Structure 1
Amino acid sequence: MNGYTVCPRYCSSPLKPYRNYPVAGYGFQGYTPENVTVKMPVKKPKGKELTDDQKEGNRKISSFRILVEHAIGGIKKCRIVKDRFRCRKFGFDDLVMLIARGLHNFRVTISLCLNHI
């Protein structure tokens, strides 16, 4: 998972397509980018149950969202990312985010390598 998928603020659009199917929550209901299909979980109708296909689709979406949330949490281990950023230097906030994403990817890679030893 690359940093653009994890941090949509630094993309050209609010959602970066993941294999042409960006996953969105209900906060993005009105956002429909061109030539892209947005996958959203299906809500349970009032007084009815979801079908098995709808439940399976919701499970797939939630399993992907968990990966994204864990990556965001891993990036926020760097205190400079989660606290208020007051440096007004041009491009410095992008540099900080780039370094935080790199550190997160490094931690994940090292932990995977150490598990195989």
Structure 2
Amino acid sequence: MARGRAQRGELTNYEAPNWEPLEAAVGPELLVWFMWMEEVRLRDGTAVHGYKHRATRRYLQLDEVLRAYWYDDGLYRRLPLWRAIDGVFASWRTLGASPGQLLLVDEASERAAARDEEAGGRTAA
């Protein structure tokens, strides 16, 4: 699932949100369904923002150039953005999302997959 080496991170910000990565990834219509939780600085200096979906309670972890991360057991691992988007919204259908909202999710996932493909299928730096 995840790509690249896992890295530890250190909490550096929980007061001043950065919504730009999330808006670029999912669009303004879906952005309103998230809470910005924190910014973590990885060992390599990358800033990763944690966004929590209000209904699914799942996290979308994004850096400022739209690379997605899976957080597990204290480590951040890269994964394709489309996969991260699909994961955060996976249970939304059963939680009452409208057909229009689900269409927006599909569009965001497709944009992310196309972006990854344009980059040659690479999500690692």
Q: TM-score, normalised by structure 1?
A: 0.28
Larger of the two Rg values belongs to structure: 1
Q: As a proportion of its length, which structure holds more strand? A: 2
Q: TM-score, normalised by structure 2?
A: 0.27
